[in-house]
Amino acid sequence: MVTFCTMSGTLMTSVSGVRGLVGTDLTPEVVARYAAAFGRIVGAEGGGSVVLARDARTSGRMFAASARAGLQSVGLDVIDCGLVPTPTAQLAVEHHHAAGGIIITASHNPIEWNALKFVGPDGLFLDGETAARLLALAGDGAAVPRVGWDRIGGDARDDAAVDRHLDALLRLPVVDAAQIRARGLTVALDCVRGAGGTVMPLLLGRLGCTVHAMDVETDGRFPRPPEPLPQNLQGLGQLVRRTAADIGIAVDPDVDRLAVVDQRGEPIGEDYTLAFAVRAVLARGAGAVVVNLSTSLVVDDAARAFGVDVARAPVGEANVARAMREAGAVVGGEGNGGVILPALHYGRDAPLAAALVLGLLADAGATVSDLVADQPRYAIVKDKVPRGADMAALYAALERNFPDATVDRQDGLRLAWPDRWLHVRPSGTEPIVRLIAEARTATEARELIAAVRTLLA
């Protein structure tokens, strides 16, 4: 499996796409060049159209125009879904049998960032080899051949993508919509003024929930840091308490991640989203589970209750999705709140995650805090340092320091024990090295992080 990440100033390219600061490294010219290069690559493989979509960021409409021009300039037709969630766009690629898709979104990054995510004809983000070809072609604008006046690509709209997404989701055997409606749940919803406003209120309405929403406007002016981490969900917690909601749910700007707040207004941590989804799916039939290397042990515990072991893949939706496909997994994802259900598609999907979590609540007849209490608790500590260290030397030193650990070098270095783990890896979306540790107590997890920092000093 090929993984990579390169930087030019703040422009970053990886299997996660191309992202940078708006107006400096990421400009309309850059977007058009990458879109044209992508069009050349997928067009050479027999496709005639590319799906285009964006999230709510203020720069999205501008960059969509640039991407459209780039694609048309190499002779590809554009199917424009407009402002929709990332998983909706992935499903649209499959629906239209398109050559691929471009989604303009920087996901959880701060408001000053934007990005292009590239989707293959199978609805998955590009693998490392294809992404490397794209980077090589886009690196020299003159190397992207353009068509003449008589072969410029066409332009069409797809305004039904969200409805198709919800219809497919609610037809899934693992989503018992009637049972959820019968429970009559009250839900507090935070869409952070991203693309979630186009889909989450509709989904919750179709599931018979009473909804108290905040920041569902789709203007892209995030009122808080957009990543749905516990420290960013205090407003949602207040809304839960004020409305006596059964649950609070928050999505990130492109709606591929879901975080949960319990009925007391307390964030439970985004790893529980996947753990709950695993419980909901495996309760209806056992099967393989695949997650990334930085996912909490709460997911292992949830799967183990059904006699299933968890397999691990490198961080990144594309890596996890491909590992799931190879393993024939029935559910999986990433511990950041990203749930993947192959029965729907191989993409992280927050509306799907919401339906599975609400279904688990309805089936158990319990509260969110009851569901959390059913599982062992762990503490995760996350830290980061600037890039610049000799990573190979750092990994070797850590292995010497912890000779009793199980070593995994699929993605950086992961050292694991039965009840704790440490993962050190260069980020694919930011110019940093991520340090993540989990243990039974925060003190033990911090000690693992401290061991890395000592070696970096």
Catalytic residue positions? 107
The residue type of 131 is A
Name the strand (E) or helix (H) holding 279: helix 271-282
Structural element, H or E, at residue 5 = strand 5-8
In the numeric block, the tokens 């993409």 are attached to 347
Encoded amino acid at 221, one letter = R
C-alpha 282: how far from chain center: 22
C-alpha distances (whole Å) from 365 to each of 146, 206, 207, 358, 369 are 59, 20, 16, 10, 12
The pair of structure tokens assigned to 103 is 């989604």
Q: What are the helix and strand counts (H, E) for the chain? A: 15, 21
What are all long-range contacts of 201-207, with beta carbons under 8 Å and residues at least 24 apart? 202/162, 202/166, 203/166, 203/169, 203/351, 203/354, 203/355, 204/354, 206/166, 206/170, 206/177, 207/177, 207/180, 207/181, 207/355, 207/358
Do residues 316 and 292 touch, judged by C-beta distance below 8 A? yes
